[in-house]
Amino acid sequence: MKQSEVKELSTADLQGKLGALKKNYTDLKMAHAITPLENPLQLKTLRRTVARIATELTKRELQ
């Protein structure tokens, strides 16, 4: 998810997506610890997407 897509979403949508993505990231991380993922770059992209959404939420809170 690109930054421009994140900016278009409402705050409620961002909070919902953040919770879902964090859960997905945790699940993938656990699965990767047990058996290696086919594409370990999924972890990197998911982690960065979570960070983008969290940053946008923090930015909106400060305004």
> Residue ranges of the domains in the chain?
3-58
Beta-sheet strands, E only, within 1-63 = none
How does pLDDT run across 4-57, given as a tens digit for each residue?
999 999 999 999 999 999 999 999 999 999 999 999 999 999 999 999 999 999
User: What is the CATH number that goes with domain 3-58?
Assistant: 1.10.287
**So what's the pLDDT on residue 1?**
84
* 36: DSSP letter: -
**So what's the pLDDT on residue 25?**
97
**So what's the pLDDT on residue 42?**
95
Q: How far is CA 18 from the centre of its chain?
A: 6
- In 3D space, the residue among 41, 10, 14 whose CA is nearest the CA of residue 28 turns out to be 41
CA dist list (Å): 32 to 5, 25, 38: 28, 10, 9
